Amino acid sequence: MDLLKPVSSRFIRHVLLLTCVLTVVIGLSIGCDGVKISHFHENGVVASVSPIASQVGEQIFRQGGNAFDAAVGVGFALAVVHPQAGNLGGGGFALARDGGNGHIIALDFREKAPLASTEDMYLDNGGGVVEDLSSLGALSAGVPGTVAGLHALWKEYGTLPWEDLVTIAAKMADTGFIVDEYLAGSLADYQDQLSVFPETESLLLPGGKVPGVGEQLILSDLAATLYLIAAEGSEAFYNGFIADSIVACMAEHGGLITAEDLQQYQVMWRQPVHFEFDSLDIYSMCPPSSGGIVMGQILKLLEPYDLSRYFPDSPEYMHLFCEASRLAYADRSIHLGDPAYYSIPGRLLSPEYIDERRKLIPVDHAGSSDAIEAGSPLKYESDETTHFSVCDKHGNMVSVTTTLNATYGSKLVVSGAGFLLNNEMDDFSIRPGHPNLYGLIGGEANKIEPGKRMLSSMSPTLVLKDDKPLLVLGSPGGSRIITTVAQAIVGFSRFGLSLEEIVSQPRFHHQWLPDVVYLEEEGFFVDKIQALIKYGYHVQERSKYGDLQLIHITAEGLMHGASDPRRGGAVAGY
């Protein structure tokens, strides 16, 4: 009997896995636009940028998996179907609530600077910044953390076999998946950059062409890599064939990541940033992400104002939000970095400090930022990170933001292993005062040092009320992630917006430098824009940004979600 048991359970597992893969593949081949706003579910919900990935999560719930199992399956699925930002070669952060004991944890799987990195590695002999060096190709890549991160999450909290969860993605890469209009459009937009490296072109632009909508994209090398990770765990990524391929890629293209860098990579379990806003408990990411602290400052600065008498597009509210953002992002540039390398002041969220800073908010006119080498993020427009939110009937909540940094990261695929490498090194302050891809300025706290984690803006967030799950949310958007999530929370708590309204509301952003309010194009009426200009703001319209993935849990424990209309995402659950 005992001898038969493992055989039969393995058989059942394989039947279940096959069912899952078939369901997802059949669902896709009949064309799955996905549900943007879900109805209520009892068991579990996933919101992500990809209908395919969200469906993977739903199937994992149907097989009895919990929110952590679903998050792992979704994370690997995104590495296949959303190559713009889903990844094996990048990093990220997760905020999670263990429904069993109510503990809330933060998991840091951020990339690290290779050990051979130096402070001036992107500068020429005269101290000038060499164009593209920190953002294109092998030298821009940090040591990846995603595979270790998803494995750590599963090891601590998962219930289904790791092999099964990863194999779903491996099979999708192996048999191919249907290219939707968002991927086809994105590949067309980036065709020139993706053609710079032949290994990238042959993976994502087979035959040198952008795959058409509805075509099948097969990623064989990526499938082999995923099967290896499925069979051997995260070890397979940091030692052996995959690690050797990364090191060979570095040798060929002039990068710095060594076998030692990969072997030494470790995730960090951290204490999340926690603060109260209204009667809500908000948990978000701590350094090396700036997300939790900057969001906490913005919301705490705003808290005493009676915002509910305004609307989300009222100039009065936008003025207050921009001034709070100006103060918080100014602190970001000076005070935040990897806590292992820089001593972060402990009182950035203390009530006394926030009260003191609030006095700097002018009542009826725009403040002014110091104009030191202000950058122009509009020049670049690369905010491709991705976020997914998951929760289940056990009270587990998982909020994951993961990234390659720019869209398709460094644009360099690891030959033979089939995945893109990040260009996360650009998130360091590569020279004091020099703006990064998002126009953010930094200094000493975020300078390049060997083994250091670069400062992030990613803000996976959980909201609880009276110790009960309430919201799981997050977004991509580079420096704009923080204001996107903060505006969602204000929208929920002060303006009483529905989930649909929260993900749809037009966004605005101020980040101290450059001293500009960015407004989403076509989002604001002319009279509102004129009112902001009258306050003294420099206003610029820009393309739509962010991709909120939001789940709300009712007091009865029912779950429903909303996926941002700006991109092709979907909510799935049952």
**Residues near ligand GLY (CB under 6 A):** 385, 403, 405, 424, 427, 456-458, 478
User: What do you get for the CA distance between the two ends of the chain, in Å?
Assistant: 35
Q: Give the SS3 label for residue 465.
A: strand
Kindly give, in sequence order, each residue whose CB lies less than 8 Å from that of residue 215, ignoring residues fewer than 6 positions away.
178, 179
Instruction: Output the smallest distance, CB 145 to ligand GLY, in A.
Output: 12
Rounded Cα–Cα distance for residues 133 and 212 (Å): 32
The one-letter code for the residue type at 321 is F
Rounded Cα–Cα distance for residues 482 and 292 (Å): 8
- Please say whether the beta carbons of 219 and 80 come within 8 A: yes
Query: Quick one: 87 or 245, whose CB is closer to ligand GLY?
Result: 87
Instruction: Output the smallest distance, CB 421 to ligand GLY, in A.
Output: 13
DSSP secondary structure letter of residue 410? T
Instruction: Output the smallest distance, CB 160 to ligand GLY, in A.
Output: 29
Query: In 393-536, where do the E strands start and end?
Result: 397-403, 461-465, 468-473, 508-509, 517-520
Query: Quick one: 90 or 514, whose CB is closer to ligand GLY?
Result: 90
Rounded Cα–Cα distance for residues 554 and 492 (Å): 13
Rounded Cα–Cα distance for residues 102 and 296 (Å): 21
In the complex, which residue's CB is closest to ligand GLY?
A: 456
Instruction: Output the smallest distance, CB 403 to ligand GLY, in A.
Output: 5
Query: Quick one: 427 or 520, whose CB is closer to ligand GLY?
Result: 427
Instruction: Output the smallest distance, CB 457 to ligand GLY, in A.
Output: 4
Query: Quick one: 338 or 427, whose CB is closer to ligand GLY?
Result: 427
Rounded Cα–Cα distance for residues 257 and 248 (Å): 10
Query: Quick one: 258 or 456, whose CB is closer to ligand GLY?
Result: 456
Instruction: Output the smallest distance, CB 177 to ligand GLY, in A.
Output: 25
Rounded Cα–Cα distance for residues 194 and 187 (Å): 8
Query: Quick one: 440 or 562, whose CB is closer to ligand GLY?
Result: 440
Instruction: Output the smallest distance, CB 109 to ligand GLY, in A.
Output: 12
DSSP secondary structure letter of residue 444? G
Instruction: Output the smallest distance, CB 439 to ligand GLY, in A.
Output: 12
- Please say whether the beta carbons of 48 and 38 come within 8 A: no
Query: Quick one: 55 or 135, whose CB is closer to ligand GLY?
Result: 135
Question: Could you tell me the sign of the dihedral formed by the alpha carbons of 267, 269, 275, 277, in that order?
Answer: positive
Query: Quick one: 396 or 405, whose CB is closer to ligand GLY?
Result: 405
Query: Quick one: 48 or 405, whose CB is closer to ligand GLY?
Result: 405
Render 114-159 in DSSP notation, one character per residue. -TT--TTTTB-TTSPBPTTTTTSSGGGPPBP-HHHHHHHHHHHH--
Rounded Cα–Cα distance for residues 80 and 94 (Å): 20
Kindly give, in sequence order, each residue whose CB lies less than 8 Å from that of residue 419, ignoring residues fewer than 6 positions away.
79, 87, 88, 89, 222, 225, 413
Rounded Cα–Cα distance for residues 178 and 38 (Å): 23
Rounded Cα–Cα distance for residues 122 and 132 (Å): 9
Query: Quick one: 91 or 367, whose CB is closer to ligand GLY?
Result: 91
Kindly give, in sequence order, each residue whose CB lies less than 8 Å from that of residue 144, ignoring residues fewer than 6 positions away.
87, 88, 89, 90, 91, 111, 237, 246, 265, 421, 422
| 71-88 exposure pattern, b = at least 16 Cβ within 10 A, e = fewer | bbbbbbbbbbbbbbbbbb
Instruction: Output the smallest distance, CB 135 to ligand GLY, in A.
Output: 11
Rounded Cα–Cα distance for residues 290 and 313 (Å): 26
**Residue 364 phi/psi, 5° resolution?**
-130, 15
Query: How many residues in the chain?
Result: 574
Instruction: Provide the token pair at 343.
Output: 């001593």
- Paired with 268 in beta bridges are 108
- Please say whether the beta carbons of 144 and 137 come within 8 A: no
Instruction: Output the smallest distance, CB 410 to ligand GLY, in A.
Output: 12
Active site residue 385: yes
Instruction: Output the smallest distance, CB 460 to ligand GLY, in A.
Output: 11
Query: Quick one: 171 or 387, whose CB is closer to ligand GLY?
Result: 387
Q: Of 167, 385, 407, 484, which residue is the catalytic one?
A: 385
Q: Which residues are catalytic?
A: 385
